[in-house]
Amino acid sequence: MVVSDHNPDQQKNDQSPSKMDSSKQIKYKMRLFIADHEHNSMIAEKNIKKICSDHLKNNFELQVIDVFEDYTAAIEENILVAPALVIDYPKKVKIFGNLRNKNKVLTVLELI
Amino acid sequence: MALNNSPADNKRPIKKISTGISGLDEVLQGGFPQNRTTLIKGAAGTGKTVLGLEFLYRSALQGEPVIFISFEERADALRENALAAGWDLQALEEKGSFFLWEAKIDHSTETSGEFSIESLLAAIKGKAEQMSCKRILIDAVDVFLRIFQDPVKEKQELYKLHDWLTEQKFTAILTTKKILNQSENTFYYEILDYMADCVILLDLRVIHQVSTRRLRIIKYRGSGFYSNEYPYIITHQGNVIMPITEMKLTHKPLKKKISSGNPDLDILLGGGYYRGSSILISGPTGSGKTTLAATFSHSTCSQGNRMFFISFEESEEAIIEAMVSPGIDLSHLKEKGNLQFHTILPEALVAEEHLWRILQKIEQFNPHHIVVDAISACQRMSTEAAAFDFLVRLINICKQHKLTCLMINQLQSNEYQADISGIGISSIVDTLIRLQYIENNKKQVLRDLLILKSRGIHHSNQHYLYSITDNGIQIDRSGKEKGVD
């Protein structure tokens, strides 16, 4: 199961409204690795979605990857734990955990 | 030799799979426990990875798909090291039977809130299903668990990993460092010992400037195992463990006699040496020990037999040259291929490696007899204990292969109380001959030969004078000289 809140092929999704030229303007590209319905994975997904809508506005692309559905991405990225957020852009950084510390995420994203 | 047998042994024997590692199956009485977890632990540099790697490599070579998860070493370094041992991982990777995952921890990673090992489990599960793999090596699991930075969490996740591996019926090998005196960290290593079905401890010690590797089985749930420490070496062909489990000193009785090459000595020995026996000739420098060994070599090789001559003291050329004066021509026997020399300095290798190389050569050359010149030099391999161990193993190998083993012991002193036995092995040799210098009342130095022991032979207990002539050693069989004190 690959949940993509922004699919580049479609050039638009519900959180990146069509009025933006998303392919050029997107500032943040992220992938969240989750483990099925595991507790912390669910929390992380909720947390990152909230951070996205509160702070990144229309400027982001978030892909949610269930490692039990797509293990190859986990191997390629060396994702050994879940949940894990991989920020691919603007700067490659990984954050392990359920992202409950919002400020930590914002710091990594250089928003505070 | 200590054999540990758990009471459950006879009831429900557990399934085992061959480790593919020379000697290890014997120590483990069959191999690693199938569908269970085996822990290999030891300090850095003890060879945990290589041991696990060899198991995987040999499995994959047999067509059994394997997964190697490396938390510490780089994949290309592992491939290179493997290739040095002649193991082509890349070929197996291309065939799809070997998956090497360099799962190094990225230290720039941030953490925020809780996480768990599910992603690792999902990755293993997915990959293993794709490959139909049931054998897995998780190298440096301790390094991986450190990402939790919480001892309680590390413990929980370790339990989870172990339970999951068992539930999924993996034959899993986990390696971890053995950390001493770090109370903070030791507890989960103890837990790992408790959880794993089989625990192997590796150790690397430096004794007298020589590195010595030891392997010990600490635990094997549901199975017997040999609990001794076993020396092992990492050769250019992989790990070699040398179990003394093979050491059953219940060898067949000696029957057939063979000539020592010296007619006089044959008479004193009641016909000659026993074929397949062990003979020790002790004496000071120049007393003719090597001459007796060369006489025997010449005699047996001339009859078409093969002799393997190990020299820790002299070069091949020096031995051949030295034997010209007592009239023994070894060079043509060497050319004919009946005589093969193995000359090496004792200091060059550790005892186990010496033994391994000698074994390889014995297997290639398939000799009838061997000479070891001299066992006294073996101490220079490292310690007297290591030399003793080496010799006992060598004698045992000779017994198994039914080889006559003639050993020479160089005595440092002519004192009668000197070590006549030669590093304490006199009790396990069949024949013991002592050469010495004695002085008669005319202050003449004479050579004296005494057969101290000869198992199964009605030998003479007398002292005999002898001389080294240009026709070999001549023994005066008329008995002890009158002129001697």
Instruction: Give the residue among B250, B249, B244 at the shortest CA–CA distance from B3.
Output: B244
The least confident of A8-22, A46-60, B97-111, B381-395 is: A8-22
The DSSP-derived string for A18-80 is TTS-HHHH--EEEEEEE-TT-HHHHHHHHHHHHHIIIIITTSEEEEEEETTT-HHHHHHHT--
Give the pTM.
0.69
Mutate to test the interface with A, among B71, B101, B108, B112 (most CBs of A within 10 A): B112
* Closest Cβ–Cβ partner in B102, B105, B119 for A35: B119
For A46, the token pair is 């909720």
What domains, with CATH codes, occur in chain B?
3-246 (3.40.50.300), 257-476 (3.40.50.300)
Residue of A nearest to B117 (CA): A81
Q: Is B214 within 8 Å of B202 (Cβ atoms)?
A: yes
A2 at interface of B, judged by CB pairs closer than 8 A = no
CB contacts < 8 A (A, B): 102
| Predicted pLDDT of residue A6 | 47
| Predicted pLDDT of residue B210 | 63
What domains, with CATH codes, occur in chain A?
2-108 (3.40.30.10)
A80 at interface of B, judged by CB pairs closer than 8 A = yes
The residues near A97 (Cβ < 8 Å, ≥ 6 apart) are A40, A44, A83, A84, B111, B112, B113, B114, B115
Note the pLDDT tens digit of each residue in B151-200. 888 888 999 999 999 999 999 999 998 765 455 555 556 778 889 999 99
Going across the sheet that includes A93-96, the strands are A2-4, A60-66, A28-34, A84-89, A93-96, B110-111
Mutate to test the interface with B, among A32, A34, A51, A71 (most CBs of B within 10 A): A71
Handedness of CA B296, B358, B250, B461 (dihedral sign): positive
A86 at interface of B, judged by CB pairs closer than 8 A = no
Query: Which residues of chain B does A100 touch, with a Cβ-Cβ cutoff of 8 Å?
Result: 112-114
Note the pLDDT tens digit of each residue in B52-91. 999 999 999 999 999 999 999 999 999 998 998 889 999 9
For A27, the token pair is 């500032």
Q: How far is B222 from chain A (nearest CA, A)?
A: 32
* Closest Cβ–Cβ partner in A33, A44, A80 for B144: A80
Question: Could B109 and A35 be called an inter-chain contact, meaning their C-beta atoms sit closer than 8 Å?
Answer: no
Show pLDDT as tens, one digit a residue, over chain B (485 residues): 455 554 444 456 789 999 998 788 888 889 999 999 999 999 888 889 999 999 999 999 999 999 999 999 999 999 998 998 889 999 999 999 999 999 988 878 899 999 999 999 999 999 999 999 999 999 999 889 888 888 888 888 999 999 999 999 999 999 998 765 455 555 556 778 889 999 999 988 876 666 678 899 999 998 887 777 887 877 777 787 766 544 444 556 667 889 999 999 998 888 899 898 899 998 888 899 999 999 999 999 999 999 999 999 899 999 999 999 999 999 999 999 999 999 999 988 888 889 889 988 998 999 999 999 988 888 888 777 778 778 888 888 888 788 999 999 988 765 544 454 455 677 678 888 989 888 888 888 889 998 887 776 666 677 899 999 998 899 988 755 444 44
Mean pLDDT across the stretch A11-22? 44
CB atoms within 10 A of CB B186: 13
Q: Which amino acid is at B330?
A: L
